[in-house]
Chain A
Amino acid sequence: MGKTREVAAVVMVAGLLVGVAARAQAYDAVEVKDGGTISGTVKFAGAPPARKALEVTKDKEVCGKEKHQSLDLIVGSDKGIENAVIRLVDISKGKKWASTQAVLDQKGCIYKPHVVVVPAGGDLKILNSDGILHNIHTYSKLNASINKAQPKFKKELTEKFTKPEVIKVTCDAHAWMSGWVIVSDHPYVAVTDEKGAFSLKDVPAGKYKVEIWHETLGKSEKTVTLKPKEEAKLNIELAKK
């Protein structure tokens, strides 16, 4: 059973990479009618800590243009947490990925965006807008770890991740740089904006487990019941552990 599934997945991925949305394993893309929306905010419980200034120790003429502040916990106005990831866990059917690729830029020695969502099996385009040596060093368990240099002459790299996973990315040349790649096999995944807001659209009606992940505050889970064409509100509070 598991074997046939795997084979099917491989065939599907291989086929889908050509152009359509890429999916892995048990997720079926169908047309969603009368879908609902899950939206809400992720907020910080307690007094928000101030962001620390990061010292730029190297390549100051490129990296030092703007001030660097720590990105591991950004609490905006109204205590909204930026860069938290909201993802449905147990969904097996739903809409297609709208895109097959994502872009991660290295600009001013900062990963932009700090958290990037990539479809499983899709491409991650990694840009080097700085024109200095960076290297992409990922720490992953399910996907193969990579550590590739991206020197000045290499403006663009393309990487593929096939299995859903949360992967840390660092640059060994610039110790302060850190980012995250979220690989998902379905499109119901969102990263909160600076107000901590998110929304997942066109979700088929049903009861779902929602996973909330944040690099500093960890993982938690909520359940949500969604009726057709309605909007379910989900307001989450995270605190320091």
Chain B
Amino acid sequence: MRWWGRGRGKKLAEEQSLRVVFFVSSMMFVVVTGWAIWNEEATRRPWKEYQGEFNRLEYQQVLQDLAAERSKLDTPEVRAVRAKLQGDLQAAQARLAGPEYSKAQKRLAARQAEYADINLRAQFIKSELEEALYWVEHAIYEKKDTKRPKATAMSMEKQLLEMTPKVDAVSTRMDEAQAEVRRFRADVDTMQAKINELVAPVTALERRLASIKVRSPEVKQVVVKGLAINEFKEPILTVDRCTTCHLGIDRAGFEQMKQPFRAHPHREILFGKHPIALFGCTSCHQGQGSALEVDSAHGEEKHWERPLLRGNFVQASCRTCHVEEREVLLAPVYSQGRQMVEELGCFGCHNVPGFEKLPRVGPDLTRIASKVDPSWLFRWIKEPRAYLPKTKMPNFQLSDEDVLNIAAYLLSASQPMPELRGAFKAGGSVERGRDVVSRVGCLGCHRIAGMEPKGQPSEGPSAVPPSSSAATPSQDETGAPIVALGERASKPARARLTAPPPPPENQDFAPDLSKIASKVNADWLFSWVKNPRHFRPTTRMPSLRLSDDEARAVSAFLMTLGQKRPIAGVDQEVKKAARVAAGERLVRKRGCFGCHDIKGFETAEKIAPDLSSYGHKRLLELFFGEAVEVKQTWEDFTFWKLKNPQIYATERVEQLMPNFGFTDEEARTLRVFLRSMSTQRPQAQFERKLSDEELAIQNGRGLVKRYNCNGCHVIEGQGGAITAFYADKTKIPPPLEVGGLHEGEKVQATWLYQFLGRPTPLRPWLDVRMPTFGISIEDATTLTKYFAVMGKQRVPYEYVALQEPAGEHLRAGRLLMSKDYFDCFSCHQQGEKKPEGPPEGWAPDLSLAKRRLRPVWIAKWLKDPQKVQPGTKMPSYYPGGPDDVLGGKEDRQIQAITDYLMHLGER
């Protein structure tokens, strides 16, 4: 720096040279500019590299496609076609150049000239006529003589009239010549079009290739008027630039490509319903849409609150709009999680939006004292899974002292049992009881050790008839979801994705009865099996309409399963007033009333935190306690909270949530559902509202699950596990919804509604009974509607339109059904008239048909029973009806039988 200081001293500022300074600083400026350009272009635009790579990949792909297309053009057949077209084209072109064409052209020119000539003359005459008419008017106006002008006008008009046909004739001739000329040209054009069409794919691909070559890198973005609204009720605008790198996201042929170029799974469906232009990417996947570097775009950096939802977590986003749906088609994990919440009753303690109106999931405890003894109750509360390994009752990890207190309160708050009609008397036959239990249908819901399935369920022709086209959507359940989607597209009824009923060995819909005698007493059991609603009006357990005798036998048998194990002193301990008071406090604190009806807690508030925005909880809102082993993320916190809530307990902070004993898989599934818990609501137009039909199906499925119809019946191709307990497949409950068989198409809605409310035996050969569920009017209506929609019937309640058929028609029907013809009553019952032989060989009562069956279905069934229900005992009579009735016409015969059935018993 000395030269600078020195210079300063000697010379005036104006005289100093700044050359060096200027030179150095400009050089620096040049370098910085160069660096800035380089930095901007090369290092800060990682997406450019991706685009370059994508262009290469796409180029390769198009090249391959092009080669394929070209080779297609190169096959001898196509080449022959092309050669022929080319030949035709040349011929047409030659004709265009030949003398015929020029002759035609000349002819056209001549006729055009002729037309112009005659037309001109006609125009002149017209003008002169106008003039003459003017003079006529003029004469009238001037009050002069009109004779002469009128005569002129007349002659002009006459001339014009004579002229007109001539003009027309010439015009037609000109048009003909024109058409001929055009024909020459058209030949060439059609040939050219045909050739173009043949090579169109190749030209299109060639154009694409060319366009890839000249493509320049660019940031691609979608501006989305977001799903969500801000505090001021205005849609939040977002910019998603994800497709700048994810270039193949909506492109066929990129399904197997490496990331970031891979096509979106289930692209057709997802983008079909959610166009990128409307939804963008981040509304489902989250992340930072405007960013263009990998980590920041994925939102995986500090302080970005909505990082990319990886793996199954993205399914949580579906809830934003699909909040009404229980099963979201492409979100099986989310749907499964939702179902778990519903079944486990999380909403008993937590506020979970969407579950506000559900009944408590546990049994009513207001009469518990008449059902179980104190020792059993003690052991149960202490460790529920010791008695029922599959129970959903969680373990509260209570001390013996606390357990005793809770038991004391529950027993003291218990109400007396309602009075019984008929009582259990010792001496019911255990053997008979075992027989009844194994046959009447208990095993549709309950499991009992020692009563094991006799064969494979749902297999074999009569158990679950495989549909002729194998098109039952639900049978492909395990297949890829896209298969189910295809089915959905072709059917109005919605394909079902989640949670088919478990196989019989895993079924735990109702308690396992293997140790029932250690729990309950015989008197209670008798009253319970006789009429469950007598003891607990809200129970789902139906009545099987057991006679007193049967109920006694069943109780006697069940009381042989397990033994009472009294614990010394418990009976006295639970009576202590101090314990009762302490128990009440504990019940309040641990929220037992969230799942059970308990006297004194009818209006108690939920004890646990509201979950309605749990998915967006920030780390600082989550209490990790001293659990340093748990990683500090939302995901890990939630996982361990579900797996073992006590992990976050410290000396000062208690954890009240019980342990549900979730497997890792279950915890992960629930976690996806919890991720969806958000208070953010989309704009109204994005909310997916279910149509009437969809709602009917969803509600119906809910009830089918609630009442476990699937335990006995095959519905939507699933269930019927009870089948496995019957060696004789004629003894199984009828399937309701599988393949071509639809209960709603088969029976009249009004009949089904009545039947659901008050079932009457239809098939006397079955030991298994359709239970009386005592369902509400609403539930019966919902189920009826569900079956109607599944059977593609529009209205749940219909008027069965019947015309008064001709007497001859009815007589023919009766004749056809008689012994000399189809002999229907060889197997079918008719009211009190029963067929010969044992009931195993009987078929349903035809006198019920007119109230039960839909006439359209009867005709369909008669035409080909095997098509409706493969494996049925009902044989086919058609084709091949008798020739001597109704002229041998099958359709008329079938109609006659149908009409006769619909009037059976009337005359």
Contact = CB atoms under 8 A, between A and B. Distances in A.
Size class of A's contact patch? 20 to 34
A58 B836 contact: yes
A199 B841 CA distance: 40
A58 B876 CA distance: 21
B822 A173 contact: no
B808 interface: no
Given A57-B838, A148-B876, A153-B882, 17 more contacts: A58-B826, A58-B837, A132-B826, A133-B819, A133-B822, A136-B875, A137-B873, A139-B461, A147-B866, A147-B875, A149-B822, A149-B876, A151-B821, A172-B827, A174-B837, A175-B838, A175-B841
Contacts of A174: 837, 841
A153 B876 contact: no
Nearest to A150: B875
B880 A154 contact: yes
B595 to A, nearest CB: 49
A152 interface: yes
B461 A151 contact: no
Interface string B823-846: 100110000000111101100000
Contact of A145 (B461, B827, B874): B461
A151 B822 contact: yes
15 contacts: A58-B837, A59-B836, A60-B836, A132-B819, A137-B875, A139-B461, A147-B872, A147-B876, A149-B875, A149-B876, A151-B822, A152-B820, A152-B823, A154-B880, A172-B841
A93 B821 CA distance: 47
Main secondary structure of the interface of B (DSSP, over half): loop
Interface string A186-229: 00000000000000000000000000000000000000000000
B840 A152 contact: no
Nearest to B460: A139
Could you say which of A137, A151, A152 has the most chain B C-beta atoms within 10 Å of its C-beta?
A: A151
A147 to B, nearest CB: 5
Interface string A138-171: 0100000111110111100000000000000000
Interface in B844-898: 865-866, 870-877, 880, 882
Interface string B452-483: 00000000010000000000000000000000
B48 to A, nearest CB: 52
A39 interface: no
A60 to B, nearest CB: 8
Contacts of B865: 147
Nearest 9 A/B pairs, CB to CB: A133-B823, A58-B837, A135-B875, A57-B837, A149-B875, A58-B836, A172-B873, A147-B875, A149-B877
Interface residues of B, number: 26
A153 B874 CA distance: 18
Nearest to A147: B875
B877 A151 contact: yes
A130 to B, nearest CB: 11
A132 B461 CA distance: 27
A47 B867 CA distance: 47
Contacts of A147: 865-866, 872-876
Contacts of A149: 822, 875-877
Given A147-B872, A153-B882, A175 B823 contact: no
B823 A151 contact: yes
A113 B343 CA distance: 59
A132 B820 CA distance: 8
Contacts of B836: 57-60
Interface of A: 57-60, 132-133, 135-137, 139, 145-149, 151-154, 172-175
Interface of B: 461, 819-823, 826-827, 835-838, 840-841, 865-866, 870-877, 880, 882
Contacts of B827: 172-173
Contacts of A146: 866
Contacts of B461: 139, 145
Nearest to B838: A57
A175 B873 contact: no
Contacts of A153: 820-821, 882
Contacts of A136: 875
A75 B768 CA distance: 39
A154 B870 CA distance: 23
Contacts of A145: 461, 866, 870-871
B821 to A, nearest CB: 6
Given A135-B875, A148-B876, A153-B882, A57 B823 contact: no
Contacts of A58: 826, 835-837, 841
Contact of B875 (A59, A60, A148, A175): A148
A174 B841 CA distance: 8
Contacts of B870: 145
A59 B827 CA distance: 11
Contacts of A137: 873, 875
Nearest to B883: A153
B875 A172 contact: yes
A123 to B, nearest CB: 16
Contacts of A133: 819, 822-823, 826
Nearest to A141: B461
A148 B874 CA distance: 8
A174 B877 CA distance: 17
B205 to A, nearest CB: 34
A58 B865 CA distance: 24
Nearest to B865: A147
A190 to B, nearest CB: 30
A136 to B, nearest CB: 8
A132 B866 CA distance: 22
Contacts of B820: 152-153
Nearest to A151: B822
A167 to B, nearest CB: 13
Contacts of B877: 149, 151
A172 B837 CA distance: 12
Contacts of A152: 819-821, 823
A175 B730 CA distance: 12
Contacts of B823: 132-133, 151-152
Contact of A173 (B826, B871, B872): B826
Contact of A57 (B841, B874, B875): B841
B547 to A, nearest CB: 27
A58 B870 CA distance: 26
Contacts of B819: 132-133, 152
A205 B826 CA distance: 53
Contacts of B822: 133, 149, 151
Nearest to B884: A153
Contacts of A173: 826-827, 841
A148 B835 CA distance: 20
B460 to A, nearest CB: 10
Contacts of B826: 58-59, 132-133, 173
Nearest to B823: A133
A212 B140 CA distance: 124
Nearest to B840: A175
Nearest to B871: A145
A175 B819 CA distance: 19
A55 to B, nearest CB: 9
